[in-house]
Structure 1
Amino acid sequence: MKSTSALRAETRRFSDVYLHSQAIANWTQRYEQISPGSASTTLRQISGRHFHVFHEQLNQRVLQEGRAPHNQLCFALPVVHAVAPFVQGRAVSLPSLLTLRGGEEFVVHLPCDTDVIAFTIDRAVTDDPEHAALSQLPERILAQPVLPVSPPRYRAAVHDLQDVLHMALDDESLVNREAFDEKLLAHSVIGIVLSLVQSDDEGSPTLPHMSTQSYIVRKSQEIALDSDDDVLTVLDLCHRLKISRRTLQYSFQNVAGTTPTAYLRSIRLNAVRRFLMTTPPSVRIGDVAAQFGFCHFGRFSSYYQQHFHELPSQTPRA
C-alpha cells in the first residue's frame, strides 16, 4: 500500500464481503453474502481530493445496501456475465453506465463472480470553468440509474479506468510527483465520464476549417512541449485553447490520424530519444524521461518500446 497527503492507492483481498465493503473509501454501505461458500474478494482503489476509482471482484452473490457519498457524481461499469445484476430494481444486461446522485440510497443485487469498476467525482469540480462540461451531467444522465452505452465506448472506458488504476498502483508511481499525479488521474476520470455520456447526436459537430484544425494541433504541441513542470492533459489544452473537447479530438483525428493523448505522447517520446542520442550514458534515462513528463519509469519504458521497438537502454548514446 502507498499513500500521500493527496492520494491513497491500495490493493487488498478479503475472505469476508462485509470487511470488503467497509474498506471502500468514502462510501457508507454494507455487503451481505447471499450464496453459500467461502468468500474471496479483491479491491483495488485510488482516491484523491476530487475523485475516487475502485475495481472490485467478488465470487459470491451479494446484497449491497447503502448511501452514495454526498456531493459526488457517482458512476459504475459492471462486467455482465450470464446473470445480470439488479440495480435500484432494474436489471443490467447490456453494457451500461450505472449512476447515483450524491447522498442517494441504493440497493444492488450482485451475482456470483461480480466484476465492477466504480468511480466518483467531487461535485465541486463542476463549478470550475475548466470543467464546464461536467456541470450538465446531473440534469442529463443522473435521472436514470442504468444508462445503456455502446460496446465500443464501454470497452474504451473499462480499459481507460483500468489504466488509471494501473498508473496509480504501479510500483514506480507517486514518486516525487504527487501533485502532478493527482491532476492527471482526476482529469483522466473526468474525460472518461464525458466520453461515456456524450450523446449520439454530438458525434458530428460543426468543425472549424481544416487550417484551423492544423493550427489547433500545432499549438497543442507547442503548449505541451513548453510546459515546465508537468504534462498537460486534454482538459488543460481545451482550457488553454478555449475550445471544446470534441473539437480538439476531431482536429487531432483529422490532421494527425490519432488522439491528442497518443500524439502528444509520441512527440515527448521523440524528444526523449533525441536527448538520449546526444548525451553520454552517464546521464540517467529516468532523469531524462522525467524531464519530458514521464514520471512512471516502467510505463515510460513500455511506451518507448512500443513506439520505437527497442528499450530506452538500447538507444545509441553519444
Structure 2
Amino acid sequence: MEISVTTPIPYIFDIAFHDCFWHGLIASPLKRLGLVAYCLHLSPIQTAMVTSVRDISSSYKVSRASHPNEHAAAYRDWIDHRLYQLSPKFSFDAVLLDHQVRDEISVNKETITTPSIEQMGRVPEDKVLIALIRSTSGVIMNGRQVNGDMIYLASGRSVQCITKSSVQSDFLTLDRRFFVERLPLANLPISGSNGFELVVKPATGLTTAYHRKVGRHFDLLDGDPLFSEIDHSTESLLTCVGEMLGGGTSDNDTCPNASTRAYIVRRSSELFVANCHDQEFGVLDLCSHLKISRRTLQYSFEQVMGISPMQYMRIVRLNVARRALTESAAGAQIQGAAFDAGFGHIGRFSKYYSDFFGELPSATLQSGRA
C-alpha cells in the first residue's frame, strides 16, 4: 500500500507497527516509534506527530485494591476522594480499569464486591463525570436514588455515593470544554461555567448498550488493538453518550430531587468527616449545626443508610484509623491513629476495630509495613 502525506498518522502507525511486529522488530516503545519513522521515511514533522501518539500500555491501568484508601487513590480525576466501608467483617475488594484515551477523555470500569460503601469526593470544575452505576439494591447519589437505567452527571460538585450491595460502574470523565463542544446539550439545563449535577433517564435500551460498549472497550484493550480500533471504540462510546443525553429526560418526575432525609444524611456526613478527629464532636453537634431534632437525625440515617448516626460516626472513625494504620511509616503508634480518629480510649478502640474489621489494629499495622 502506498502511503501519502495526507494519510492519517494513527493509521500509518497501525500499518507500520504490525509490519514491524511480524518481522520480529518490535522492541521498546521508543525503538518502535523510531522504526515507524524509518520504515515510512517520515519527515521530521510527521515523526513528531507519530511520537505524540499515546502508548496504550502507559495509558491503560488495572488497579486491584484490598483497602478502601488504595481504591480511592486509584481515581485519576477526583479531588479529596475517600471511601468508607460501612459493613462489618467483609474483606474489601475492588477493581478499577482506567484508560486515558486522550488528554480530554478517560474511560473507567469499576467493580466493588464489598457491600455497603460510602464514597465521597469532588469532581473538578474543568471535568464532567458521566456515570452509569448498577447495584441490586440501588445507589444513592447525593440523596437521589439512581438505578441502572439512569445516567448521573456532575461537574464542579461534591459527590456522595452510598451503596448497600456490590456495585458496577461504567463512567467517562471528559474535559468540560470538550463535553460542551462534542455532545448535544440543548435539552439539558447546563449553562455557562457553573457547576452542575443532573440525573438523566435515557430512552429504553441505551444504558444497556452503553454498558456493553464499555465492556467491549476494555476487552479490546486486553488484546493487541490497533490505534484505529481504539479510536473507533471511543467514538462509539461518545456517540452512545450523545444519544443518551440528547434523547433523555431530566425532569423531577423521572429523576426525583433528594429527599429531606437524604439531604440531612449528606450534610451530616460532610460535617462529621470534617470534624471526626475531635473526640467531643457528636450527634448533638450535628443537630445543632443542621437545626434539627435528634429524632429527625436518627430517622434520616436509619432510612437512608440503615444504621444510626452513632453507628455511622463510629464506623467512619474506624475507617479513618484503618487508613492511618495501612499508610503508616515505621514508628507509628496504634494509640496515635486511634486518637487522631477521635477515639479517646485505646481499649474500646481495639474492641470496636476487631469487631468491625475482623483483625486487631496491630495486625493491620504489620500488614501495612510489609
TM-score normalised to structure 2 length: 0.46
Residue 193 of structure 1 deviates from its aligned partner by: 1.1
Q: Structure 2 CA distance, aligned partners of 1:19 and 1:73?
A: 23
Residue 12 of structure 1 deviates from its aligned partner by: 2.3
Q: Which residue is 1:116 aligned to?
A: 169
Q: Which residue is 2:124 aligned to?
A: 69
Sort the Cα spacing of 1:118 and 1:137 in 2 relative to 1 into closer, same or farther, 3 A.
farther
Q: Is the 8 A contact 2:97 2:108 kept in 1?
A: yes
Among 206, 217, 239, the residue aligned to 1:191: 239
Q: Map 1:1-318 onto structure 2 (within 5 A).
A: 5=54, 8-28=59-79, 29-36=81-88, 37-47=90-100, 48-60=102-114, 61-81=116-136, 83-93=137-147, 95-101=149-155, 103-126=156-179, 131=182, 133-134=183-184, 136=186, 139=189, 145-167=198-220, 169-173=221-225, 177=227, 180=228, 183-199=231-247
Q: Is the 8 A contact 1:46 1:54 kept in 2?
A: yes
Residue type at the aligned position of 1:139: P
Q: Identity of counterpart residues, as a percentage?
A: 17
Tell me, what secondary structure is at the counterpart of 2:205?
A: helix
Residue 6 of structure 1 deviates from its aligned partner by: 6.2
Tell me, what secondary structure is at the counterpart of 2:209?
A: helix
- The CA RMSD measured in Å over matched residues stands at 2.9
Sort the Cα spacing of 1:186 and 1:94 in 2 relative to 1 into closer, same or farther, 3 A.
closer
Residue 152 of structure 1 deviates from its aligned partner by: 0.8
Q: Structure 2 CA distance, aligned partners of 1:199 and 1:11?
A: 33
Residue 181 of structure 1 deviates from its aligned partner by: 5.8
Q: Is the 8 A contact 2:200 2:248 kept in 1?
A: no
Tell me, what secondary structure is at the counterpart of 1:139?
A: coil
Contiguous gaps of at least 5 residues in structure 2: 1-28, 30-52, 250-370
Residue 51 of structure 1 deviates from its aligned partner by: 0.8
- The number of equivalent residue pairs is 190
Contiguous gaps of at least 5 residues in structure 1: 202-318
Q: Structure 2 CA distance, aligned partners of 1:27 and 1:6?
A: 24
Sort the Cα spacing of 1:195 and 1:144 in 2 relative to 1 into closer, same or farther, 3 A.
same
Q: Structure 2 CA distance, aligned partners of 1:189 and 1:71?
A: 21
Tell me, what secondary structure is at the counterpart of 2:189?
A: helix
Q: Is the 8 A contact 1:55 1:118 kept in 2?
A: yes
Q: Structure 1 CA distance, aligned partners of 2:127 and 2:147?
A: 26
